[in-house]
Amino acid sequence: MLEAAKQVALVCDHTKFGNTALAKVCRLDELEHIITMKAFLLRCVKRWNG
């Protein structure tokens, strides 16, 4: 399904990050867009970039 998509986006609130799920949809580096709360996203970007 992801291969057929023109764009791949993750839309979720802060409660979905850092949890383990039953299935993996894709890796974070396969996402083109992450749509979430601004303050939370800024903390994540700082953590991902070191």
List the domain range (segments joined by +) for residue 29: 2-48
Average pLDDT for residues 20-45, to the nearest whole number?
79
Using one digit for the tens of pLDDT, what is the confidence trace for 13-26?
Answer: 877 777 788 888 88
Tell me: pLDDT of 50 over 70: no
Total domains in the fold of the chain: 1
Percent of the chain with pLDDT over 90: 0
Average pLDDT, rounded, for the chain: 79
Which pairs with CB-CB distance under 8 Å and at least 24 residues apart come from 17-22? Answer: 17/44
Handedness of CA 28, 13, 7, 45 (dihedral sign): negative
Q: pTM above 0.75?
A: no
The whole-angstrom distance between residue 21's C-alpha and the CA centroid of its chain comes to 13
Using alpha carbons only, what angle is made at residue 10 by residues 6 and 14, rounded to the nearest 5 degrees?
170
Rounded Cα–Cα distance for residues 47 and 3 (Å): 28
